[in-house]
C-alpha cells in the first residue's frame, strides 16, 4: 500500500481483525461475506523499558495483550506461559469442522515466526500454581519460578462438569482444548451413538459435528428450550424443528441421573429412568472462570476476576482479561471480548491509559444446514417492554425477530438468512 499501512478487515461474527485477503475467518471459519474493512487505530504511545511482562495463559486474551505490549514497548521482555502443549490456536474452531481431522497446524493463530519477530517467548506445558505478589514471581508445576514486573492474568475458563455419576469415564468429554478434540477423534471410529448433554450453542455445534462424522446423536437439554440465553421461545422451537429434520434427537427437561457402562460408556440414564444408548458422551454445560490463583493472590472476584476499565485487578501489577475477567458485572466468555480485554490490558500494563469499551454480545451458529445470528437482548428482561417484529417463512426455513425498546433496536435473531447481520450489529452498536 502507498501509505505502508496494512489493509485490515474485521470479522463481524467473532470480532477478529486480520489482514485482507483471507477467504474464511481464521478464528471462527465464516466466509468473507462477513468481513468489513477495519481501520487500525494509530498507536502513538511508546515507552521502552527493561521490564519483564509475564502473561499467564496463551489464549485470545493473552496473545492480544502480548501484541499490545510489544506495540508500545520494543525493549521489554514478554513471556507467555500455558499449561497446554501448543502455540495459541483458535479455540472457537474446535467445534467447527475439525472433528475427525488432524488440523493442529491450521488452527494456529500465528506461525512461530510471528512470535520470534516480536520477541514473545512462548512457554508451553507449564501450569501456574501460585502467584507471590511480594516477591513478584509465579511458581509453576515443574518447580520453576518466573519473576515479573507486570503480570497479565489470562487463564480463561474451564468447562463446568455437572456432578453426574459416571462423568469420569474415558468416553465422556467436555470440549475446551485441542486435546479434547484429539480425544474425541480417537474415539470416533469406536463410536456409533453420541449423547450431547447441553442444548447451548457449543452443544449444538458438537452435535452437528458428531452427526457429520456419521454418529447417531441425541441432545439432552435440562430446560425447555435450545440456546435459551440467546433465543426467544419461538426461535428456539424453530431451531429445534431444523435439528429434528437432520435426524438428531432432542429431549427437553432431560435431567441426567447417570452415565452408565462397565468398561465403556453404554448409555445415559435420565431421572425418569429413560436410557439413551451411547458410546460417546459430550458434556456442554457452560464454563467457570479460572479465578483461584488470582483469588489466592488477593484479587477480588465475582463470577470472574474483577477488573476496572483499565483491566487492573485489585492487586497492583496484576491485570486480568478474557474469560477469567469480569468488568461491570459482565463476563460473556466470548472471543471478541477476550481480544478487546487483552488489548486493553496490554496497553495499560505498558503504561498507556486507555479504557476498555464493552462489546456487543453477538453469536453465530453455522450448522444443521442453517446459519443463525443472535445479538443483544431478545426480550429477556421481564422489567422491560419490547416491541417485537417477527418474520417467518417456513418453506424457506427463515425466521427473523427484531426486539425494539423505546424505538431502538436492542436485540435480533436471524435464522436461515443472516445476510442482514452486519447492518443489525451496526444499528445495535
Ligand X SMILES: Cc1cc2nc3c(=O)[nH]c(=O)nc-3n(C[C@H](O)[C@H](O)[C@H](O)COP(=O)(O)OP(=O)(O)OC[C@H]3O[C@@H](n4cnc5c(N)ncnc54)[C@H](O)[C@@H]3O)c2cc1C
Nearer to ligand X, 94 or 399 (CB): 94
Q: Which three cell numbers stand for residue 33?
A: 461475506
User: For residue 347, what are the CA distances in angstroms to 9, 193, 354?
Assistant: 21, 48, 7
d(Cα 299, Cα 319) in Å, to the nearest integer? 10
For residues 85, 88, 93, 94, the Cα torsion angle rounded to the nearest 10 degrees is: 20
Antiparallel, parallel or unpaired: β 275-277 and 267-270: antiparallel
CB of 64 to ligand X, least distance (A): 8
Instruction: Among 55, 94, 318, 368, indicate the residue that binds ligand X (CB under 6 A).
Output: 94
Instruction: Among 10, 70, 72, 91, indicate the residue that binds ligand X (CB under 6 A).
Output: 91
Instruction: Among 156, 198, 203, 378, indicate the residue that binds ligand X (CB under 6 A).
Output: 156
Instruction: Read off φ and ψ for residue 9, nearest 5 degrees.
Output: -130, 160
Nearer to ligand X, 266 or 313 (CB): 313
Asked whether 366 and 30 are in contact (CB, 8 A), the reply is yes
Q: Which residues in the 360-399 window bind ligand X by CB under 6 A?
A: none
Task: State yes or no: residue 294 binds ligand X (CB under 6 A).
Answer: no
Stretch that binds ligand X, among 77-85, 248-256, 309-317, 348-356 (CB under 6 A): 77-85
CB of 83 to ligand X, least distance (A): 4
CB of 63 to ligand X, least distance (A): 7
Nearer to ligand X, 70 or 343 (CB): 343
Instruction: Read off φ and ψ for residue 235, nearest 5 degrees.
Output: -65, -35
Task: State yes or no: residue 410 binds ligand X (CB under 6 A).
Answer: no
Q: In what order do the strands lie in the sheet with 128-132?
A: 128-132, 137-140, 145-147
CB of 272 to ligand X, least distance (A): 29
DSSP structure string for 370-406? EEEEEEE-SS--TTS--EEEEEEETTTTEEEEEEEET
Nearer to ligand X, 175 or 235 (CB): 175
Stretch that binds ligand X, among 88-96, 248-256, 397-405, 418-426 (CB under 6 A): 88-96
Nearer to ligand X, 60 or 261 (CB): 60
Task: State yes or no: residue 338 binds ligand X (CB under 6 A).
Answer: yes
**Helix ranges restricted to H, 297-380:** 335-349
Nearer to ligand X, 266 or 327 (CB): 327
d(Cα 356, Cα 344) in Å, to the nearest integer? 6
Instruction: Among 76, 334, 350, 424, indicate the residue that binds ligand X (CB under 6 A).
Output: 334
d(Cα 296, Cα 311) in Å, to the nearest integer? 18
Task: State yes or no: residue 120 binds ligand X (CB under 6 A).
Answer: no
Task: State yes or no: residue 184 binds ligand X (CB under 6 A).
Answer: no
Instruction: Read off φ and ψ for residue 66, nearest 5 degrees.
Output: -60, -45
Stretch that binds ligand X, among 40-48, 148-156, 211-219, 343-351 (CB under 6 A): 148-156
Task: State yes or no: residue 236 binds ligand X (CB under 6 A).
Answer: no
Instruction: Among 103, 323, 326, 352, indicate the residue that binds ligand X (CB under 6 A).
Output: 323
Q: Which three cell numbers stand for residue 193?
A: 451413538
Q: How many residues at the interface with ligand X, by CB under 6 A?
A: 34
Q: What is the largest CA-CA distance in the chain?
A: 69
Q: At what angle do helices 60-72 and 335-349 cross, to 10 degrees?
A: 30
Task: State yes or no: residue 176 binds ligand X (CB under 6 A).
Answer: yes
Asked whether 287 and 158 are in contact (CB, 8 A), the reply is yes
Stretch that binds ligand X, among 34-42, 83-91, 108-116, 256-264 (CB under 6 A): 83-91
Which stretches of the chain bind ligand X, using CB under 6 A? 14, 28, 56-62, 81-84, 91-92, 94-95, 127-128, 154-157, 175-176, 202, 290, 322-323, 333-336, 338
Amino acid at each position: 500500500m502507498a501509505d505502508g499501512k496494512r489493509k485490515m478487515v474485521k470479522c463481524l461474527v467473532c470480532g477478529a481483525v486480520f489482514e485482507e485477503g483471507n477467504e474464511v475467518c481464521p478464528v471462527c471459519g465464516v466466509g468473507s461475506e462477513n468481513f468489513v474493512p477495519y481501520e487500525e487505530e494509530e498507536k502513538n504511545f511508546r515507552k521502552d523499558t527493561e521490564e519483564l511482562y509475564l502473561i499467564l495463559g496463551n489464549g485470545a486474551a493473552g496473545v492480544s495483550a502480548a501484541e499490545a505490549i510489544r506495540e508500545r514497548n520494543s525493549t521489554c521482555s514478554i513471556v507467555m506461559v500455558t499449561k497446554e502443549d501448543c502455540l495459541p490456536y483458535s479455540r472457537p474452531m474446535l467445534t467447527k469442522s475439525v472433528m475427525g481431522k488432524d488440523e493442529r497446524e491450521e488452527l494456529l493463530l500465528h506461525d512461530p515466526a510471528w512470535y520470534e519477530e516480536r520477541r514473545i517467548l512462548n512457554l508451553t506445558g507449564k501450569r501456574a500454581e501460585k502467584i507471590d505478589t511480594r516477591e513478584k514471581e509465579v511458581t509453576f508445576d515443574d518447580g520453576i519460578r518466573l519473576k515479573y514486573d507486570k503480570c497479565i492474568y489470562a487463564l480463561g475458563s474451564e468447562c463446568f462438569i455437572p456432578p453426574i455419576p459416571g462423568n469420569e469415564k474415558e468416553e465422556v468429554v467436555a470440549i475446551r482444548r485441542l486435546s479434547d478434540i484429539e480425544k474425541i477423534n480417537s474415539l470416533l471410529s469406536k463410536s456409533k451413538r453420541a449423547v450431547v448433554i447441553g442444548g447451548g450453542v457449543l452443544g449444538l455445534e458438537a452435535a452437528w459435528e458428531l452427526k457429520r462424522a456419521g454418529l447417531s446423536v441425541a441432545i439432552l437439554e435440562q430446560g425447555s428450550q435450545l440456546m435459551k440465553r440467546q433465543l426467544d421461545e419461538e426461535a428456539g422451537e424453530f431451531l429445534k424443528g431444523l435439528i429434528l429434520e437432520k435426524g438428531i434427537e432432542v429431549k427437553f427437561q432431560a435431567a441426567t441421573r447417570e452415565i452408565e457402562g462397565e468398561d465403556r460408556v453404554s448409555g445415559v440414564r435420565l431421572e425418569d429412568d429413560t436410557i439413551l444408548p451411547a458410546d460417546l458422551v459430550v458434556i456442554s454445560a457452560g464454563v467457570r472462570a479460572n479465578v483461584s490463583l488470582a483469588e489466592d493472590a488477593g484479587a477480588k472476584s465475582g463470577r470472574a476476576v474483577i477488573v476496572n476499565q483499565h483491566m487492573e485487578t485489585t492487586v497492583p501489577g496484576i491485570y486480568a482479561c478474557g474469560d477469567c475477567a469480569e468488568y461491570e458485572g459482565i463476563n460473556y466468555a466470548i472471543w471478541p471480548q477476550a481480544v478487546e480485554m487483552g488489548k486493553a490490558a496490554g496497553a495499560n500494563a505498558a503504561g498507556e491509559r486507555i479504557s476498555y469499551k464493552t462489546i456487543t454480545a453477538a453469536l453465530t451458529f453455522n450448522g444443521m444446514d442453517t446459519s443463525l445470528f443472535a445479538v443483544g437482548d431478545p426480550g429477556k428482561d421481564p422489567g422491560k417492554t419490547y416491541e417485537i417484529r417477527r418474520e417467518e417463512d417456513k418453506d424457506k426455513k427463515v425466521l427473523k425477530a427484531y426486539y425494539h425498546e423505546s424505538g431502538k433496536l436492542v436485540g435480533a435473531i436471524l435464522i436461515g438468512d443472516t445476510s442482514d447481520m452486519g447492518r443489525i450489529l451496526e444499528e445495535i452498536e
